[in-house]
Structure 1
Amino acid sequence: MTPELALQHIWTLAGCDPTALRSVSLSGDDPGLPSVFRVGSLASATIAATGLAAADYHRLRTGHRQHVAVQMRRALASFRSERYLRIDDGPPPALRDPVTGFYATRDGRRIQLHTNFPHHLQGVLEVLGCENDRAAVAAAIRHWDGAKLDQTLADAGLCAALIRTPDEWAVLEQAQALAGLPLFEIERIGDAPVEPPRRGDANRPLAGVRVLDLSRIIAGPVAGRALAHHGADVLMINGPHLPNIAPLVIDNGRGKRSAVVDLRDAPGRETLRGLAGGADVFLQAYRPGALAARGFGPEELARVRPGIVYVSVSAYGHEGPWAQRRGFDSLVQSASGIAWTERQAAGWDEPKHLPCQALDHATGYLAAFGAMVALARRATEGGSWHVRLSLAQTGRWLQSFGLVQDGWRAPDVSSDDVSDCLGTVDSTFGRVRGVLPAEMLDLTPAFYALPPVEVGADSASWK
């Protein structure tokens, strides 16, 4: 699979005008990072699709077409944005809890724990009955069979994944449910009048577009960040009780404002309902059905705000027995055979993840792409829209690309190697150095108009 073919698949699946593909140029070849998977093609295609959708929405506003270019090395830098983040020229930020990682089970399998949130760590320690110490956790896990522990932790609402081969994953009911789904869905869910793009800065494709970003960590926030760097007014909404990972708040908060709303009480729900009434895009990455239980499902919001574009991002998809299972990028890699395949190719003893959070970033860019396609449809035919994606669907697509023989031998890429892809901005966190947008639009360059801010720095209101 080449970047061009991958982009064509995305564009065609969304039902977009194929003539627009003549306005895109892609450069670079896999492997751009040490991996046997075609991560560079995934990065280039998803970022190019996002840029092309922004250019198309800008065309609706102004009548002008423009060219979009993506270099693979810049796209891969974007897919590693959290890795290249620096504050005041300090060391790379810590992103993982020490207990997170791979462990051997009693029956000779490997299982991955994900304990980067304190309550997830505490829950795992309670199930295992051990202290918060990696050696103690390893000793406790050696008393469990892998599949049993995997299911026990999932039933407890915790985050883990048994390392499976691609064949083991393929026979699971969840994998079969995903096999019946496309890469993403853009569905009309209600009637609403046509809404042409609002007047605004002609140099910003999404000027005037309001986005509520109810997501944390990487995939959803990357989608909101991409919409922000094309000019949308993006307001992040966090709950006062929900944990965050500080470096990711900084990296993915560029270009956004941030407010706190408590959906556990009626005043908080009323505040969010009021914000949704003035929004164009409602982006959320909770487990399927979680927000609907609070009164914020897609159909409910289409009644509150006819013409809403509702974007749902999940780990394992909205169908199948794992739809409610908590998950993160690395866990999906482990469960679906990606980590096993990388280990086999490199001859490692331990499972091996991709050299970036590729499923997170690709799903984030696809979510931004889907939101912009839906906005364009609203502008031409009206309606309310629902965009659905998952990390597992993205991972399944990546696995379909085929492998790069000996791709794992490619040299790694340091922060110094991509210094031309980085930019700095002053913020309340200090001097932030981060990856710049990778898509190059010749009429409306993408950029971050706002520095990252602390969680809750802004009021829960539209400008």
Structure 2
Amino acid sequence: MADPTPREILDALWQGAGLAGPAPAALSGEEPVLPSSFRIGAAAQAVVAAATAAVSEVHRRRGGPAQQARVAMREAALEFGSERYLRLDGRPAPAGWDAIAGTYRCGDGRWVRLHTNFPHHRTGVLRLLGCEGTREAVGQALLGWEGIAFEQAAAEAGMCVAAMRSFAEWDAHPQGQAVAGLPPLRLERIGEAPPVPLPPLAARPLQGLRVLDLTRVIAGPVCGRTLAAHGADVLHVSAAHLPSFDDLLPDTGRGKRSAAIDLRAEAGRDTLQGLVAGADVFLQGYRPGAVAGHGFAPEALAALRPGIICTSLSAYGEVGPWGGRRGFDSLVQTASGFNHAEAVAAGADPSGPAPRVLPCQALDHASGFLLAFGTLAALLRRAEEGGSWLVRVSLAGTGMWLRRLGRLEGAFGVPVPEIDELGELLEEMPSDFGRLTALRHSGRLPETPPRWALPPVRLGTHPAAWA
């Protein structure tokens, strides 16, 4: 059976979200566009086109002109590495990776990946290993562990570690089996509410729609950034005591305002409840149960604001034995077989290859655009069917979807472009971090071109109030 075309991938996503007909989109370009055995270019084009076509449909139903989304495969694939293509005042943006993060071989020969970019994760891993914070000391300490045992011990301690598995091992694992049948995007009606008409026609497709963005790192912030590119009022909510990847904010913070709310305090919870009452979308990407533990579970949000769209990201899918486990793109790649499969495809010895990562954080970025598409699909369905809605995406589920798209041969020689080669694909704007040079959005609409009206700002810059 032939692998699906980008058009077929797009239309499957569109119809899987309950939307009728083919997606209004024009696709161009062909594979391969990045050095990988996986169809990252086709995946990127499909998810960007799904989100952009849904923007077009929202605008049309508000009384705007019908228009086709236009997505070039190369541009979409490059946007999957948007954090790579940044300059601040003409200089490369800082990398932000912790010194001991990365892969190590354990005493049984299995590789593990440590994610220690948050200070408390670094401290916890070093406490578990009982060693100094150098790569040499960590590597030596891990020789006293079996890989699976260390992964489990780290998870029980609330740390972020993944042991490398093959696809066969992941498919036999209880968590792999739990997510095997999940679609990449899940829409569920979680409450009753009358239909909520889309706002009256405005200059921008999503103008007048309010989004609360409680996310960090890449996938969730990419969702908020995508909605902001088409005019949504996106208020990013964080708190001073929470760790963040500030190096990513110049990229993913474009178009958003940013407020600080401490949900540990009653006043903070009251403030967020007030914002929810005026919101269309509640987007959250923290570990399953974390935000719900402060009183903001989807069902509670639907009771507080009937008709709300709750959009939720998880690492491993909210189901199965790892449903509540912390995770990041790099860890899910490692645990679910991608690093092993990519290494073998590149010619490594399959009996014990060193991990080979995908050429971008593909699970993160694909999940971010799937979240944006699902949010818009739920808004369209809310306008017709009524109800409150829950949109769910997981990095592991996105990985299973990417696997199902098929594989490529002979693509490892494709170069990853440098920023100096991108020309008109780049834009400049002022920011709190310096003069920003970054990638433009790859989802184009001819009548209402996307743009970020607000520059990225530091966390907590704005009041916790709607504009």
- Into which bin does the TM-score normalised by the smaller protein fall? over 0.9
- Which aligned pairs between 1:52-63 and structure 2 lie closer than 5 A? 52-63=53-64
TM-superposition CA deviations, 1:188-243 (whole Å, max 9, x none):
111112221223533x1111000000000000000000010011000000022111
- The corresponding residue for 1:205 is 205
Report the Cα distance in structure 1 between the residues aligned to 2:73 and 2:454, rounded to whole angstroms. Answer: 26
Report the Cα distance in structure 2 between the residues aligned to 1:408 and 1:95, rounded to whole angstroms. Answer: 26
1:386 to 2:390 alignment: yes
Report the Cα distance in structure 1 between the residues aligned to 2:118 and 2:205, rounded to whole angstroms. Answer: 36
- Kindly provide the amino acid, as one letter, of the partner of residue 272 in structure 1: L
Whether the 8 Å contact between 1:345 and 1:408 is mirrored in structure 2 is no
Whether the 8 Å contact between 1:86 and 1:93 is mirrored in structure 2 is no
TM-score (norm 1): 0.98
Whether the 8 Å contact between 2:37 and 2:345 is mirrored in structure 1 is yes
> Of 425, 428, 437, which aligns to 1:424?
428
- The corresponding residue for 1:286 is 286
- Kindly provide the amino acid, as one letter, of the partner of residue 144 in structure 2: H
- The corresponding residue for 2:304 is 304
- Kindly provide the amino acid, as one letter, of the partner of residue 402 in structure 2: L
Report the Cα distance in structure 2 between the residues aligned to 1:27 and 1:413, rounded to whole angstroms. Answer: 19
- The corresponding residue for 1:254 is 254
Report the Cα distance in structure 2 between the residues aligned to 1:435 and 1:251, rounded to whole angstroms. Answer: 8
- Which aligned pairs between 1:270-419 and structure 2 lie closer than 5 A? 270-348=270-348, 349-419=353-423
Report the Cα distance in structure 2 between the residues aligned to 1:201 and 1:337, rounded to whole angstroms. Answer: 46
- Which aligned pairs between 1:58-207 and structure 2 lie closer than 5 A? 58-199=59-200, 201-202=202-203, 204-207=204-207
Report the Cα distance in structure 1 between the residues aligned to 2:15 and 2:219, rounded to whole angstroms. Answer: 23
Q: Structure 1 stretch 412-421 or stretch 234-243: which is displaced more?
A: 412-421
Alpha-carbon offset, residue 2 of structure 1: 2.4
TM-superposition CA deviations, 1:362-385 (whole Å, max 9, x none):
000000001111111111221111
Secondary structure in structure 1 of the residue aligned to 2:273: helix
Report the Cα distance in structure 1 between the residues aligned to 2:84 and 2:64, rounded to whole angstroms. Answer: 39
Alpha-carbon offset, residue 411 of structure 1: 1.7
TM-superposition CA deviations, 1:269-290 (whole Å, max 9, x none):
1110110011000000012222
Over aligned residues, Cα RMSD in angstroms? 1.1
Matched residue pairs, number? Answer: 460
- Kindly provide the amino acid, as one letter, of the partner of residue 375 in structure 2: A
Report the Cα distance in structure 2 between the residues aligned to 1:419 and 1:114, rounded to whole angstroms. Answer: 34
TM-score (norm 2): 0.97
- The corresponding residue for 1:243 is 243
Report the Cα distance in structure 1 between the residues aligned to 2:185 and 2:51, rounded to whole angstroms. Answer: 14
- The corresponding residue for 1:216 is 216
Report the Cα distance in structure 2 between the residues aligned to 1:459 and 1:371, rounded to whole angstroms. Answer: 25
Structure 2 regions of 5+ residues with no counterpart?
Answer: none
Alpha-carbon offset, residue 145 of structure 1: 0.6
- Kindly provide the amino acid, as one letter, of the partner of residue 122 in structure 2: L
- Kindly provide the amino acid, as one letter, of the partner of residue 76 in structure 1: A
- The corresponding residue for 1:51 is 52
Report the Cα distance in structure 2 between the residues aligned to 1:417 and 1:380, rounded to whole angstroms. Answer: 45
TM-superposition CA deviations, 1:166-198 (whole Å, max 9, x none):
000000111111023222111111111222122
Whether the 8 Å contact between 1:46 and 1:366 is mirrored in structure 2 is yes
Report the Cα distance in structure 2 between the residues aligned to 1:109 and 1:428, rounded to whole angstroms. Answer: 43
- The corresponding residue for 2:231 is 231
TM-superposition CA deviations, 1:423-459 (whole Å, max 9, x none):
0101121101111110111111111010001100000
Whether the 8 Å contact between 2:63 and 2:201 is mirrored in structure 1 is no
Whether the 8 Å contact between 1:199 and 1:207 is mirrored in structure 2 is no
Secondary structure in structure 2 of the residue aligned to 1:235: strand
Secondary structure in structure 2 of the residue aligned to 1:293: helix
Report the Cα distance in structure 2 between the residues aligned to 1:200 and 1:157, rounded to whole angstroms. Answer: 47
Q: Percent identity?
A: 52
Alpha-carbon offset, residue 63 of structure 1: 4.9
Structure 1 regions of 5+ residues with no counterpart?
Answer: none
Q: Structure 1 stretch 24-33 or stretch 44-53: which is displaced more?
A: 24-33
Q: Structure 1 stretch 238-247 or stretch 301-310: which is displaced more?
A: 238-247
- Kindly provide the amino acid, as one letter, of the partner of residue 18 in structure 1: G
- The corresponding residue for 2:13 is 10
Whether the 8 Å contact between 2:114 and 2:161 is mirrored in structure 1 is yes
Alpha-carbon offset, residue 296 of structure 1: 0.1
- Kindly provide the amino acid, as one letter, of the partner of residue 456 in structure 1: G
